[in-house]
Amino acid sequence: MGEVEAVVSGRRTASGRIPEVPGFAPRMGAADAPKARGKALRDRVPRSSHDAVAFGAGRPDAVRAVEESSRGRVSELVPIRVGRMAATPFAFLRGAAGLMAHDLTGTPVTGVGAQICGDAHAANFGLYGDARGRLVIDLNDFDETVVGPWEWDVKRLATSLVLAGREAGADEDTCRRGAYDAVGAYRRTMRLLAKLPALDAWNAIADEELVSHADARDLAGTLERVSEKARNNTSARFAAKATEALDDESGEGSAGRRFVDAPPVLRRVPDEEAAAVAASLEEYLGTLSQDRLPLLARYAVHDVAFRVVGTGSVGTRSYVVLLLDHRGEPLVLQVKEARASALLPHLPAVGFEAPEVVHEGRRVVLGQKRMQVVSDNLLGWTTVQGRPCQVRQFRNRKGSVDPAALPADQVDDYGRMTGALLARAHAHSVDPRLVAGYCGKNEELDTAVAAFAVAYADRTEADHSALVAAIRSGRTAAELGV
C-alpha cells in the first residue's frame, strides 16, 4: 500500500500512530497536561487574590437593580417578588443574581470556563426523584445557567452560606467556617475527580457516599427527614390538593379534574391562555428523546393553571398542566417562562463571549443536563405566546434543606456537602485536572474566598436594608408574607 498506510477500519499509519480525531482529546506531553496549565494560572491570578471585593462608582443602586430585574414580569406579581426579597438578606441575595454578577466583574477570574449554575446559592441544592423514584441530591435550579467563570458559582455559594448562617443565628466564626469549608470541599472534590479515570470521575460520588465524602455526618439526620418528606412530594399529592373532580353531564361518572383557584399562588387562566399552553406541548414533545413519547401518549391534557413560584422567579409566567392517564392518575408538568440569564450582560467584562441564545428554554434545559448527574427524564422546552419556556415534571419527589434553619453545628457540614456537589457539577463541563491544578493542595483559596464571602455578605445586608427602607418610604411597592 506504499510507505504511508491509509487508515481504514481502524488500521494504524506506518508511523504507528492513529491520527487525532476531532472531538477527542489531543495527545499531549506533560508540559501541556491540564494540571500543569492549571498550576501555571496561579502566576497570573494568585489564589490569595480571590479575597478581593470591588464596588465601583458605577455600581447600580440596590433598589434600582431590583426594579430593573422586575421589568417584563407580570406586573401584579412584582410586589410579591419584592416582598419575598425583603424578608431577609439571604432572601435578597437569592433574588439578586444579576447584581452580584455585576459586582463579580471586578474580581479576579482565571479565564477557565465551565457550565455554571449562575445562581448557586445554598438553597438551590436539593433532592428529587429519578425515573425509578429513587432520590438523588444535586443542584436543582438553572434559570441563570451559562458558560462562565467557575469562580462565580463558588463565591455565590460561599456568600449564601454566610448569610444563611447569620439568619440561623450562628456566630461569625461559624458562618465564615461554612464558607471556608464549602470552598475546601470544592477544591478537594476536584482533586479527587482529577485523580480518577475519566469515566469513573464522570459518575463519581454516588449520593449514598456523599455525606461520608463531605464529612457531613452531623447533617445525616436532617437529610433523612427531608428525604422522607420528599418521597411524598408527588404530582398525585399536589393534584389531590389543588384540583377537583368534574361531573360528567351525561350522569355516567367523572369527566376528569380541574384546578381550583387558590390566590395568589394558584389561579385558573382564561380559556385562550390555557389553550395556548396546551398547544405548546406539541413543540415540547419534539424536544424529548423519542423513547419518552409513548409514555406521554398515554396521558390526556385536562387543565392548565398559573402558579407563582420561587423568589427570583416570581413574576415570570409559570403554568402547571394537569395530565391524567386511563385510570385518572395524574402527572403534572410545569411550563415555566425562561428569561435571558441575568449573568449574560456581565460575561464580556471578564473575557467570556456572551453567546447567541437560540431559545432560552433550550439554554436552561441543556445547561441543567450538562451539570446534573441525573436529570428529569421529561425535561424539555417550548414556546407559549412567543415566550420561551422550559418544561419539567412538577414535584417529582422534590425536597430541600433550608440552610437558614439549620442548627449552627450543621452549617459547615452543609457547606462541605454543597461544595462537593458544585465541584461534581462543574466537572461535567471542565476538566477537573485543570481546576484542581489551579486550586492546589493547600487552603489558600479557601481562606481567600471565605474572606470575600464575609465582605460580600455585609454588602448584601446593606442592600437589603436599602430595599426595606424603600418599601417603608413608599418608593417601592411590596406585598409581604406571601
Nine-digit cell string for 180 = 471556608
CA distance 337 to 176: 36
Q: Whole-angstrom Cα distance, residue 366 to residue 145?
A: 9
Amino acid, single-letter form, for residue 58: G
**Spatial distance between the Cα atoms of 220 and 392, rounded to a whole number of angstroms:** 29
What is the C-alpha separation between 50 and 443, in angstroms, rounded? 12
Q: What is the pLDDT along the chain (482 residues), one digit of tens a residue?
A: 443 344 444 444 545 578 888 888 887 665 469 999 999 999 999 999 999 998 877 898 999 999 999 999 999 999 999 999 999 999 999 999 999 999 999 999 999 999 999 999 999 999 888 877 788 889 999 999 999 999 999 999 999 999 999 999 999 999 999 999 999 999 999 999 999 999 988 888 767 677 788 888 888 888 889 998 888 888 889 999 999 998 765 454 457 899 999 998 999 999 999 999 999 999 999 999 999 999 999 999 999 999 988 767 888 999 999 999 999 999 999 999 999 999 999 999 999 987 888 899 999 999 999 999 889 999 999 999 999 999 999 988 888 899 999 999 999 999 999 999 999 999 999 999 999 999 999 999 999 999 999 999 999 999 999 999 999 999 999 998 87
Q: Give first-to-last CA distance, the chain, whole Å.
A: 78
| pTM (2 d.p.) | 0.92
- Tell me how many helices (H) and strands (E) the chain has: 17, 12
Which residue type sits at 232? N
Cβ 455 vs Cβ 56: under 8 Å: no
Q: Nearest CA to 246 among 261, 259, 265?
A: 259
Maximum Cα–Cα distance for the chain, whole Å?
A: 87
What stretches of 338-443 show up as alpha helix (H) in DSSP? 360-371, 411-426, 432-439
Q: Taking the C-alpha atoms of 417, 419, 420 and 425 in order, what is their torsion angle to the nearest 10 degrees?
A: 120
CA 62 and chain centroid, separation: 23
